[in-house]
Amino acid sequence: MVILLNILIALYNSAYEDITENAIDEYMALFSQKTMQFVRAPDENVFIAPFNLIEMFFLILPFEWWMADETYDKLNDYVMFVIYSPLLFLTAFIETREARHVKDNRRRGEEDEDTTHEWEQVLHECDFEADGWDKKVQTCKPNVEFDTAVLEVKKLQEQVAEMKDLLKALSESKNWGGDTLEGSKFGKMGESSEGGGRDE
């Protein structure tokens, strides 16, 4: 019975280890499946809000039920072009202007961005060291100079050194472990082997 119980414990342990080893992969797979389930649109023509109202009232209701699929797809493409092209042209214009500005700054050897933000203006007014914030950041800052495995090995080495010192101190004390062996089978076996060895 005890052997079967040990086998069952070993099987549960190995199954648990298999699950914990793949826990991150399983979680990421389930998360991506749920994300794709909710994010993926049911059709190819996606109108962002509030333009989805245009799709609903000016495309789906009057045209989808009687128009051929290819013609309806082309109509959707034309409507999306008319709706999104001003936004895309505006975005392209702003990004091009910013890129020229950054390029000119780099040519002059200046910073990419020469505008001063509000948080940069009040930066000199904040005293992080007086508020104790600097100490909190230093205590929470991760150690990127050494790998985490190296740090764990160093901790284990320190613990092993402490255990060695403790064992040395215990072994130097008189009759270490003798009081626990006196009433046990091992103590009796030791006495009988000593007595048997003396008789011979």
Per-residue pLDDT of 165-187, as tens digits, reads: 888 887 777 655 555 555 555 55
Task: Give domain status of residue 9, yes or no.
Answer: yes
Across the chain, how many H-helices and E-strands are there? 9, 0
Structure tokens at 70: 């290819």
* Residue from 84, 74, 115 nearest 98 by CA: 115
**Domain that residue 8 falls in:** 1-40
User: Would the pLDDT of 15 be above 80?
Assistant: no
pLDDT for 177 equals 56
CB 77 within 8 A of CB 69: no
Summary mean pLDDT of the chain: 76
DSSP state of 50: T
* Residue from 42, 47, 71 nearest 57 by CA: 47
Task: Give domain status of residue 21, yes or no.
Answer: yes
**Confidence category of residue 113, pLDDT binned at 50, 70, 90:** confident
**Confidence category of residue 85, pLDDT binned at 50, 70, 90:** very high
Task: Give domain status of residue 15, yes or no.
Answer: yes
User: Would the pLDDT of 96 be above 90?
Assistant: yes
> How many residues does the structure list for the chain?
200
Task: Give domain status of residue 50, yes or no.
Answer: no
Task: Give domain status of residue 20, yes or no.
Answer: yes
| Domain tally, the chain | 1
Task: Give domain status of residue 111, yes or no.
Answer: no
Read off the pTM.
0.35
Task: Give domain status of residue 178, yes or no.
Answer: no
Task: Give domain status of residue 5, yes or no.
Answer: yes
